[in-house]
Amino acid sequence: MSVLSGKKILLGITAGIAAYKTASLVRLFIKSGAEVKVIMTPASKDFITPLTLSTLSKNPVHSTFYNKEDENELWNNHVDLGLWADIMLVAPATANTLSKMANGTCDNLLLATYLSAKCPVYFAPAMDLDMYKHPSTIESLEKLQSFKNVMIPATSGELASGLVGEGRMAEPQDIVSFIENEILSKLPLKGKKVLLTAGPTYEAIDPVRFIGNHSSGKMGFAIAKAAANLGAEVILITGPSHQKVQHSFIKRVDVTSAEEMYTAAHTYFSDVDIAILSAAVADFKPKNVAHQKIKKKDATLTIELEKTKDILASLGAIKKEQFLVGFALETNNEIVNAKGKLERKNLDAIVLNSLQDKGAGFATDTNKITIIDKNLNEKAFQLKSKAAVAVDIMNEILLRIKK
């Protein structure tokens, strides 16, 4: 999955012959998992039709502030469009539009939206050789970059005039790759590895029955995605779960039992920078597993249990530079019990959940947590979606690994 997945991309198209390439550009953004909206300058519609772009983007294409032929139509709010976007890209960016962007000229919807945008702005110049080399164009390019706008350099090749030289807009695939790489280079966990455990474990009684718990894996999967979105390479070791995650930075390892999770965690632990153990691992397992289904003969059944291996404590005992995070699900004396677990297992931080809090715990879409670090600093959070909680957890980890 691309780093652009889930991003909202606002594509501004200006009146250059390279506008014909924007159909492919929109398709590539959509394929990467992004949502795309398009703004065209009125003159750009001579080069590619709004119908083509609206069909590919599955969104209306905007060109003017309002439809002069419909008195009742609402205006296209440039402020809303600018605030909607996670990324704004102007491609092709003609010499005319570049000059207007650099000097704050605001005579169409695209330029008004550019001046309102709060997100990163990229621009891909496209013009003939002499225009690209003209001092006024060079000044515009330098000025826009001083605004922290990001230029996607033009390439050399055959131009519309028949000349061969610099000024050709970068190809759509190269534009997408440029933006992906530029985003990745700024992600705080780029080059880091994160080990994450999630879900329940099932401990077999016989070939049919098992001992398990109500964990859905939602919290762990949300953390895995949050870590991957920060640029980390994530190894997600999960017990039986219906949760799914699609991200090119996440490697999923499926296990069933506590023993299998223990083995997998120890396999990867030495190579990671951060380990977050959110799985609800069974504390006990049947001492003897029946090879055949146990028949219902007597009124009662006694199963002898033995302790499973403590994955968290075992990693705490061997950790070196890794930042190790555990989870504590408590029903009483929550803070005291969580701090005890933090210290006993040599953790760097622990995430406390209380089943006393409505909306927290297993199988819900929300969670309410308190994070306690190894210095016993506590930070409580309000009830939030598990996706938002995952972001909070990763942000707190980032603050501590940077110290």
Domain residue ranges in the chain: 8-185, 193-401
- What's the pLDDT score for residue 159? 74
Mean pLDDT of 51-67: 89
Q: Name the pairing type of β-strands 305-307 and 284-286.
A: antiparallel
Counting residues of the chain whose pLDDT is more than 90, the rounded percentage is: 77
pLDDT band (50, 70, 90) for residue 246: confident
Question: What is the identity of the amino acid at 395?
Answer: N
Q: Which helix (H) or strand (E) holds 342?
A: helix 334-344
pLDDT band (50, 70, 90) for residue 403: low
* pLDDT higher than threshold 60 for residue 306: yes
* pLDDT higher than threshold 90 for residue 2: no
Q: Of 89, 87, 90, whose CA–CA distance to 16 is shortest?
A: 90
- What's the pLDDT score for residue 67? 62
| Per-residue CA distances from 168 to 25, 158, 186 (Å) | 15, 7, 27
Task: Report the length, in residues, of the chain.
Answer: 403
- Compute the distance between CA of residue 119 and CA of residue 113 in angstroms, rounded to an integer: 11
- Beta partners for 128? none
- What's the pLDDT score for residue 30? 96
Q: Which helix (H) or strand (E) holds 281?
A: none
* pLDDT higher than threshold 80 for residue 331: no
Q: Of 350, 339, 345, whose CA–CA distance to 316 is shortest?
A: 345
pLDDT band (50, 70, 90) for residue 1: low
> What's the token pair of residue 164?
């061969």
Q: Is there a common fold for 8-185 and 193-401?
A: yes
| Least confident among 101-115, 255-269, 300-314, 357-371 | 357-371
* pLDDT higher than threshold 90 for residue 354: no
- What's the pLDDT score for residue 254? 97
- What's the pLDDT score for residue 69? 58
| Per-residue CA distances from 400 to 23, 192, 324, 377 (Å) | 44, 15, 11, 12
pLDDT band (50, 70, 90) for residue 363: low
Q: Of 90, 77, 151, 143, whose CA–CA distance to 116 is shortest?
A: 77
- Compute the distance between CA of residue 221 and CA of residue 317 in angstroms, rounded to an integer: 26
- What's the pLDDT score for residue 5? 85
Angle at 115 between CA 110 and CA 120, to 5 degrees: 95
pLDDT band (50, 70, 90) for residue 18: very high
Angle at 183 between CA 181 and CA 185, to 5 degrees: 70
Active site residue 377: no
Q: Name the pairing type of β-strands 384-385 and 366-367.
A: antiparallel
CATH class of this structure's domain 8-185: alpha beta
Q: What is the 3-state secondary structure (H, E, C) of 27-58?
A: HHHHHCCCEEEEEECHHHHHCCCHHHHHHHHC
- What's the pLDDT score for residue 205? 94
User: Does residue 367 contact residue 391 with C-beta atoms inside 8 Å?
Assistant: no
Q: Which listed residue (59, 77, 213, 346) is catalytic? A: 213
Mean pLDDT of 111-117: 95
Q: Of 156, 138, 151, whose CA–CA distance to 182 is shortest?
A: 151
CATH class of this structure's domain 193-401: alpha beta
Report helix, strand or coil for 389: helix
pLDDT band (50, 70, 90) for residue 162: confident
State residue 232 phi and psi, 5-degree precision: -75, 150
Burial class (CB in 10 A: 0-12, 13-18, 19+), 18: buried
Please measure the distance between the N-terminal and C-terminal CA atoms of the chain and give it in whole angstroms: 31
* pLDDT higher than threshold 80 for residue 395: yes
1, 216, 333, 368 alpha-carbon torsion, rounded to 10°: 50
112, 119, 166, 160 alpha-carbon torsion, rounded to 10°: -50
State residue 294 phi and psi, 5-degree precision: -70, 125
Please report the beta strands in 263-344, taking only residues with DSSP state E, as ranges in sequence order: 274-277, 284-286, 305-307, 323-330
Mean pLDDT of 123-137: 93
CB neighbourhood size of 172 (10 A): 20
What's CA 355's distance to the chain center, in Å? 28
* pLDDT higher than threshold 90 for residue 6: no
Mean pLDDT of 145-155: 95
Radius of gyration, alpha carbons of the chain: 27
Mean pLDDT of 198-219: 93
pLDDT band (50, 70, 90) for residue 80: confident
**Mean pLDDT, the chain, integer:** 91
- Compute the distance between CA of residue 47 and CA of residue 13 in angstroms, rounded to an integer: 10
Mean pLDDT of 311-334: 93
- What's the pLDDT score for residue 343? 95
Counting residues of the chain whose pLDDT is more than 70, the rounded percentage is: 96
